[in-house]
Amino acid sequence: MSWVPSPSTARHLFYGVLIGFSLSFATTSVALAVRERRREKPSEALTLRPIELRSDEILDGVTGLIGNTPLVRINSLSDALGVEILGKAEYLNPGGSVKDRVALRMIEDAERQGLLHPYTGSRIFEGTVGSTGISIATIARARGYDTTIIMPDDVAIEKVRALEALGADVERVRPASIVDKKQVCRNLAREYALHFTSENTHGAPASALPLHHEHPYTLKHSASSVVVTTAEDPEHDAHRNGNGMANGHADESEELRTKPRGFFADQFENRSNFDAHFDGTGPELWRQTNGEAVALVAGAGTGGTIAGTGQYLKSMNEGVIVALADPEGSGLYNKVKHGVMYDRKESEGTKRRHQVDTVVEGIGINRVTKNIELALPIIDDAFRITDAEAVSMSRFLVQRDGLFLGSSSACNLVACVKLVQKMGWQNGEKVVTILCDSGNRHYSKYSLNPRNDEYLVKAGIPNDIGLVQDLLTKPYPPISSITKI
At 37, which helix (H) or strand (E)?
helix 7-40
With CA atoms as reference, report the closest residue to 211 among 246, 243, 186, 245.
186
Contact call for residues 178 and 366 (beta carbons, < 8 A): yes
- Supply φ then ψ for residue 220, to 5 degrees: -140, 165
CA distance linking residue 116 with residue 260, whole number of Å: 9
Q: 57: which residues sit within 8 A by CB, 6+ positions away? A: none
The b/e string for 135-144 (b: 16+ C-beta within 10 A; e otherwise) is bbbbbbebbe
- Gap between the Cα atoms of 344 and 456, Å rounded: 22
| Cα within 13 Å of Cα(128), Cβ side | 29
Other beta carbons within 10 angstroms of residue 424's beta carbon come to 14
Q: Return left, alpha or beta for 343; rule: phi > 0 is left, psi -120 to 50 is alpha, else beta.
A: beta
Cα 103 to Cα 139: distance, rounded to the nearest angstrom:
7
**Residue 34 one-letter amino acid:** V
Q: How far is residue 223 from each of residues 130, 192, 211, 255, 310, measured CA to CA in Å?
A: 35, 20, 21, 10, 42
Which DSSP helix (H) or strand (E) runs through 257? Answer: helix 254-257
Distance separating alpha carbons of residues 145 and 120, to the nearest angstrom: 8
Nearest to 470 by CA among 462, 479, 481: 462
What are the residue numbers of the active site? 99
Comparing C-alpha atoms, which of 408, 362, 409, 411 is closest to residue 385?
411
Query: What is the Cα–Cα distance from 89 to 242, expressed in whole angstroms?
Result: 45
